[in-house]
Amino acid sequence: MFEFIRSHRRWMQLILLLLIVPSFFLVGIQGYDSFMRKEPELATVAGQPISRAEFDQAHRNQLEQMRARMGARFDPALVDTPAMRERLLNELINQRLLANVAVDNRFTVSDETLRNTIAAIPEVQDNGRFSPERYRQVLAAQGMSPTSFEAGLRRDLAVARVLEPVGQSARAPAEVVASLETALTQQRTVQLRRFAAADFRSQVTVTPADIQAWYDANKQQLQIPEQVQVQYLVLDEAAATQGIQVKDEDLKAYYEQNKNRFGQPERRRASHIMIELAPGASEEARKAARVKADDLARQAAADPAQFAELARKNSQDAGSATNGGDLGWLAPGMLSGPLEKAIFSQAKDQVSGVVESPSGLHIIKVTEIQPAAIKPLAEVKDQITGEVRKQLAAVHFSEMASQLNKQVYDQRDSLQPAADAVGLKLRTATGVTREGLLPADKVGPGSAADSPDAEVLDNPRVRQVLFSPDVLREKQNSGVIELSPAMMVAVRVANIEPAHIPALDKVTESIRAKLMDERSAEAAKKAGEAALAADKANPAAAPEGFSPAVVVSRQDPKDVPQAVVDAAMRLPSSPLPGYAGVQSGVDYTLVRLEKIEAGSVDASAKERLTQQLSGGLGQAEAEAVVKMLREQYKVQVLPNAAEVIRGEAPQAAG
């Protein structure tokens, strides 16, 4: 059969073609296209698609970064919004766009720029200097090789150069800088007259009919959302530490194991004479350096008292030579192996032979020795007790956590057995809603907002669990919620109070206070406006009821409320005095403008202002360039993008 196929290959190709082509009409060309490309496309840049998979990966990375930054306070419902998803999609589009521009216009960076950029990364530095070893370690920890990292960084730097000239060339016009400088520094001398709402409170009345009318008209404002009463257990360091006793034998054992921590190790002061020897030096250079070092070692050994003078004249370590070779006080671990071994193995005033290190050849003299000093147990007992108790608490915490995890599932309709088994107190609080904790005055006794555990109960993860179907409707125990490595919580809904509008008698006093505040503020404003009209009608008259003059500016408002400062700065420069009135909270304030003076700013402050304005201008110009490039490269946001922006799951392939 196979021989027949080989002999009649052209016939077989024709037969296969006749079999395949009709299937396009039966299944549809679109069906084949969908089969070959299942990933929905969200946008295209110069015809190149950005897929749903690319967006989802970037979205996951973004949420993980937020989770790591915010910790227990991370709430996806608050940060994962349509606006955030739309912003992320635009970032992906712009990244692809700028990468295309960089390739098309052959943007690149030199090897020197790449090296300098890598060397400036703090994570790959050791004592402020680039460390090749640390560089390799950091990349290995992230599963990257230097080759792949450098290729990616070179690409990113090239892409950054697309907009770099725009930002660098942007410069705020001198007229704009001068105008803003004047506005920020101009000083105005003002007098103020305050009409406090509290002073008019006695003139205001609120009747039961007023309260009833407000209640009838504003019931929806009073609605209390669905809330739950919570039973909960908290396992934290305090609970794990309670009742732990530290035995004397444990303290003694811990002290013996950690003696070096409770004192100062032996320290030595040493001097050296160094002859430089580069790692790649020729054999001839090595011999010459060795001869010189051996000669200096013989001279120093023959007369140790002259060591400092020999160092000053011959040592090639500029940092210590002027001090007679003094290296200062040294502790174990401060120097490289050969030097440290030589310094900590010889006697005081003894001169070593020639010691070779990566930096050169050394002759060493130990000038002072400070023996190790260990504090007695009695002196560090309190410190050790705390550390041992913390260690025992960590073990106890782990045991309690394991027991708590088991117990909350053994009897799902009550937390009391778990509390008894683990040794925790069962606590209760009320007034927890999906959005947060209700104010204590709306809840009464037992309010979660007034509880010492308010932060725990207001945690987004705790609230999310409380309002999950099993916990909310079935009133079952939650699993253990780990808020941090040192805090775990288990919760149960004890009671549900549906959303409701409280009865009038429950809110009468709060409505009365609200109406009193509003009417007092209205009375203060009315009195202030009358006084303002009188002052404007007779501006030359001596001011009555005004405070002493104060000089304010936008940069230095003194203690004057911002709304009042803004009103003073908006007044025209003539005629003077000028008057204005402004609502400041519930109070009303009259402003009397007496004098206007030009302010001053030093050269450095002016330059900072110019830089800030130029930076803002550069950003605006960069955004304009990106907008232009999006048109040039025919960026299209496709209909599928609306789905991801809304946060909908992808449709299953049909």
Instruction: Tell me: do 272 and 330 sit in the same domain.
Output: yes
Angle formed at CA 189 by CA 188 and CA 190, multiple of 5 degrees: 110
Q: What confidence tier does 184 reach under pLDDT thresholds 50, 70, 90?
A: confident
What average pLDDT does this structure show over 476-496?
92
Instruction: Tell me: do 62 and 30 sit in the same domain.
Output: no
Buried b (16+ CB within 10 A) or exposed e, 384-411: beebbbeebbeebbeebbebbeebbeee
The lowest-confidence range among 329-343, 451-465, 584-598 is 329-343
| Inside any domain, residue 619 | no
How many Cβ atoms are within 10 Å of 353's Cβ, its own excluded?
14
Instruction: Tell me: do 47 and 165 sit in the same domain.
Output: yes
| Inside any domain, residue 592 | yes
Q: Which amino acid is at 609?
A: L
| Inside any domain, residue 176 | no
Q: What confidence tier does 242 reach under pLDDT thresholds 50, 70, 90?
A: confident
Q: What confidence tier does 593 reach under pLDDT thresholds 50, 70, 90?
A: very high
Q: What confidence tier does 21 reach under pLDDT thresholds 50, 70, 90?
A: very low
The lowest-confidence range among 340-349, 371-380, 459-468, 556-565 is 371-380
> In this structure, what token pair is assigned to residue 468?
């999950």
Does the pLDDT of residue 631 top 50, yes or no? yes
pLDDT (tens digit per residue) in 36-85: 456 789 999 999 999 999 998 888 888 888 877 777 667 776 678 888 99
Does the pLDDT of residue 34 top 70, yes or no? no
| Inside any domain, residue 104 | yes
The three-state secondary structure class of 233 is strand
Q: What confidence tier does 13 reach under pLDDT thresholds 50, 70, 90?
A: very low
Domain count within the chain: 5
> In this structure, what token pair is assigned to residue 462?
């705790």
Query: What percentage of the chain reaches a pLDDT higher than 90?
Result: 43
| Inside any domain, residue 174 | no
Integer CA distances (angstroms), 361 to 185, 277, 343, 364, 646, in order: 63, 7, 14, 10, 69
Does the pLDDT of residue 156 top 90, yes or no? no
Beta pairing partners, 361: 275, 356
The CA distance from 200 to 588, in Å, is 12
| Inside any domain, residue 318 | yes
Does the pLDDT of residue 484 top 80, yes or no? yes
Q: What confidence tier does 27 reach under pLDDT thresholds 50, 70, 90?
A: very low
- Contact partners, residue 392, CB within 8 Å, separation at least 6: 244, 246
Provide the terminal-to-terminal Cα distance of the chain, rounded to the nearest Å. Answer: 39
Instruction: Tell me: do 75 and 119 sit in the same domain.
Output: yes
Mean pLDDT computed over every residue of the chain: 85
pLDDT (tens digit per residue) in 372-401: 878 888 888 888 888 888 888 888 899 999
The pLDDT assigned to 650 comes to 63
Asked if 567 and 580 count as a contact pair (C-beta separation under 8 A), the reply is yes
DSSP structure class, residue 261: G
pLDDT (tens digit per residue) in 257-281: 887 778 777 888 999 999 988 777 8
Q: What confidence tier does 621 reach under pLDDT thresholds 50, 70, 90?
A: confident
Does the pLDDT of residue 583 top 60, yes or no? yes
Helical ranges in 28-142 per DSSP H: 29-36, 52-70, 76-79, 82-104, 111-119, 132-141
What average pLDDT does this structure show over 461-468?
92
**pTM score, two decimals?**
0.54
Helical ranges in 37-81 per DSSP H: 52-70, 76-79
Select the more confidently predicted residue: 548 or 622: 548
The lowest-confidence range among 342-351, 388-397, 440-449, 599-608 is 599-608
Q: What confidence tier does 495 reach under pLDDT thresholds 50, 70, 90?
A: very high
| Inside any domain, residue 320 | yes
> In this structure, what token pair is assigned to residue 447?
């309010």
DSSP structure class, residue 162: H
What average pLDDT does this structure show over 609-635?
84
> In this structure, what token pair is assigned to residue 347?
């006697």
Instruction: Tell me: do 353 and 284 sit in the same domain.
Output: yes
Helical ranges in 273-376 per DSSP H: 283-302, 307-314, 318-321, 337-343
Instruction: Tell me: do 138 and 74 sit in the same domain.
Output: yes
Domain end, chosen from 438, 472, 497, is at: 497
Beta pairing partners, 603: none
What average pLDDT does this structure show over 444-468?
92
Q: What confidence tier does 199 reach under pLDDT thresholds 50, 70, 90?
A: very high
Instruction: Tell me: do 393 and 369 sit in the same domain.
Output: no
Instruction: Tell me: do 390 and 356 sit in the same domain.
Output: no
Does the pLDDT of residue 614 top 90, yes or no? no
The pLDDT assigned to 72 comes to 64
The CA distance from 205 to 107, in Å, is 75
- Which residue segment(s) compose the domain that 10 sits in? 1-36
- Contact partners, residue 63, CB within 8 Å, separation at least 6: 76, 79, 80
The CA distance from 500 to 510, in Å, is 17
> In this structure, what token pair is assigned to residue 179?
């105008």
Instruction: Tell me: do 471 and 541 sit in the same domain.
Output: no
Asked if 94 and 626 count as a contact pair (C-beta separation under 8 A), the reply is yes
The pLDDT assigned to 649 comes to 66
Instruction: Tell me: do 515 and 482 sit in the same domain.
Output: no
Instruction: Tell me: do 339 and 408 sit in the same domain.
Output: no
Query: What percentage of the chain reaches a pLDDT higher than 70?
Result: 93
Asked if 236 and 489 count as a contact pair (C-beta separation under 8 A), the reply is no
Looking up residue 82, the CATH number of its domain turns out to be: 1.10.4030.10
The pLDDT assigned to 8 comes to 42
The pLDDT assigned to 5 comes to 38
Instruction: Tell me: do 414 and 482 sit in the same domain.
Output: yes
The pLDDT assigned to 38 comes to 60
Containing 271, the helix (H) or strand (E) segment is strand 267-276
Integer CA distances (angstroms), 612 to 169, 289, 605, 625, in order: 14, 56, 11, 20
The CA distance from 336 to 364, in Å, is 14
What average pLDDT does this structure show over 292-317?
91
Domain end, chosen from 374, 399, 432, is at: 374
Domain end, chosen from 464, 497, 530, is at: 497
- Contact partners, residue 81, CB within 8 Å, separation at least 6: none
What average pLDDT does this structure show over 432-448?
91
| Inside any domain, residue 123 | yes
